[in-house]
Structure 1
């Protein structure tokens, strides 16, 4: 059954705002909330709730996920990844307490089939630190602005002639 309340585009930020740069996804959502986005776009700060990603994406035509990436020496680097690359079947299955957004991409397609978006884009922002903190590092703050601007630009609808 189709989700009649589903937006055309679901934009979901994931991450733990109490772990420093892991809060990059929710920060992008907060930044986008200040924009004048089309009415068929829904923003969701999913925190660490992978199940929320799966349920909120159901029925949407397009899904955009934003999350932090483990530090690997390039803090603030932005990686754009097609969702298909990250929607792999979990190796050992997934318990409810370990269900992440990448698991949601795989399981959502299995459960919801054509009612799950096929157009999935993921933005990963490389963290500088994942220590306990509520502030983002400088490089990640700059990356949050860039990702929010890039997503907002994707959502601009051409005026009708």
Structure 2
């Protein structure tokens, strides 16, 4: 099973890039159904990531980043480099996808994917808004094309 999860807040401009990618890939799968491929929009819920990843063989997460790099820069990072333990908080918003990677591995053990890739796209804006900035939209289209190819290759394997 290949699982792709888009994360972010679609009403905070470029923070919604992961959701944009997930929704685009869901539309792709409607046109070209594939067995053993799932795509989810997890919004900002780390718990959703953890539970949707359970039982999958390969996991891909797409989200916005704010590193100070040029807007639209694409980073592809192994999930093992980004997993982090969760410091207890008072809301589920405090439990992010990077926490889900660490917790899921501890909780679900061999039923949690070890093949995890994360695509991060550098945000230009994180203010309130429904539209992606132009550099982030262009980068999202590149990531979508990469993931469509991954979906097709995975379906053929």
Structure 1's unaligned 5+ residue stretches are 1-7
The question of whether the paired residues in 1 share the 8 Å contact of 2:54 and 2:108 is answered with: yes
Among residues 79, 83, 99, which one is paired with 1:83 in the alignment?
79
- Give CA-to-partner distance per residue, 1:121-150, whole Å, 9 cap, x none: 000000000011111000011011000110
Show the counterpart of 1:61.
Answer: 57
TM-score for both structures, normalised by structure 1: 0.88
Structure 2's unaligned 5+ residue stretches are none
Show the counterpart of 1:25.
Answer: 18
Show the counterpart of 1:145.
Answer: 141
CA distance in 2, matches of 1:134, 1:61: 33
RMSD of the alignment, in Å? 1.6
The question of whether the paired residues in 1 share the 8 Å contact of 2:44 and 2:93 is answered with: no
1:32 is displaced (CA, Å) by 1.1
Partner of 1:155, secondary structure, is helix
CA distance in 1, matches of 2:67, 2:33: 31
Aligned residues: 152
TM-score for both structures, normalised by structure 2: 0.90
The question of whether the paired residues in 1 share the 8 Å contact of 2:2 and 2:57 is answered with: yes
1:37 is displaced (CA, Å) by 4.9
CA distance in 1, matches of 2:99, 2:121: 19
> 2:126 aligned with 1:133, yes or no?
no
